[in-house]
Amino acid sequence: MSISLTLNGTSRTIDADPETPLLWVLRDELGMTGTKFGCGIAQCGACTVHLDGMPIRSCQTQIGDLEGSSITTIEGVSGKAADAVRSAWEELSAAQCGYCQSGQILAASALLSETPKPTDDDIDAAMDGNVCRCATYARIRQAIHVAAEKMGA
């Protein structure tokens, strides 16, 4: 089956079994390995991408459902929020092993696009689905606040 969508701003036509999770299309068919496999059941958030700007779990999103949609991955995410997030991430060394960070950055960027000045509760609500086994949560939280400041500056 052939699916047409926009991926990181570029029109793509993908030929795949419609039930294939977007995660595996990205990683195996398109060679975009920045989106990570962590659990396969939407419990860890490592596979987070944006669907029309909203964070979704690509491991539970079938490619057949994405006709005409716009997908943004860690390789393509940019703009005020994403740039501020990356900059804050580097400033605070938010990553340790880094395997979850693509998902964290996508989730944080989506949060800041919607809520430029998030409270700790906003951050909890937006980020609780993204697991970090290195438990860098305190730095992720702080980095989101720093990114918010950068965006406002």
Partner 1 sequence: MFHFMKDQIQAAKPSRRSFLKMSAAGAGGFILAASLPGASRKAAASGGEFAQPFVHIRPDNKVVVLIKHLDMGQGNATGLATLIADEMDADAAQVETNFAPANAELYKNLAFGMQGTGGSTAMANSFQQYRAAGAAAKAMLVAAAARKWGVPVSTITVSKGVVTSTSGQSSNFGDLAALAANEDIPAEPVLKTPDQWVYIGKSFPRVDVPAKSRGSVGLYGMDHQAENMLVAVLARPPRFGAVPAGFDAAKAREVKGVVDVVQVPSGVAVLATSTWPAIAGRDLLAVTWDESGAETRGTDEMAKELAGMTATKGISVPGSHGDAEAAIASAAKVIEVDYAFPFLAHAPMEPLDITVFFDGEKAEFWTGSQFQTIDQMVSSRILGLTPDKVTINTSWAGGSFGRRAQPDSHYFAEAALIAKARLEAGNAAQPIKVVWTREDDIRGGYYRPMVSHKAKVGFDDKGQVTGWSHRVAAKSIMQGTAFEQFAMKDGVDSTSVEGIGELPYELPAFQTEVHNAKTPVPVLWWRSVGHTHTGYVAETMMDRLAKEAGEDPLDYRLKRIKNERLAGVLKLVAEKANWSTPLPEGRYRGIAAVESFGSYVAEVAEISFREDGTVKVEKVTCAVDCGLPVNPDNIKAQVEGGVGYGLGAVLRNEITMTDGQVDQSNFDTYLPLRMTDMPEVEVHIVPSTEAPTGIGEPGTPPVGPAVANAIAAAKGEWVTELPFSRHGYA
Q: Which residues bind partner 1 (CB under 8 A)?
A: 17, 20-21, 24, 27-29, 31-41, 43-44, 46, 73-75, 86, 89-90, 93-102, 105, 123-124, 127-128, 130-141
Closer Cβ to partner 1, 72 or 113, answer by number: 72
Closer Cβ to partner 1, 113 or 141, answer by number: 141
Closer Cβ to partner 1, 5 or 126, answer by number: 126
Listing DSSP states for the chain in one string gives -EEEEEETTEEEEEES-TTSBHHHIIIIIS--TTSPPS-SSSSS-TTEEEETTEEEEGGG-BGGG-TT-EEE-TTT--SHHHHHHHHHHHHHT--SS-TTHHHHHHHHHHHHHH-SS--HHHHHHHHTTS--TT--HHHHHHHHHHHHHHHH-
- Minimum Å distance from CB 50 to partner 1? 13
- Minimum Å distance from CB 142 to partner 1? 10
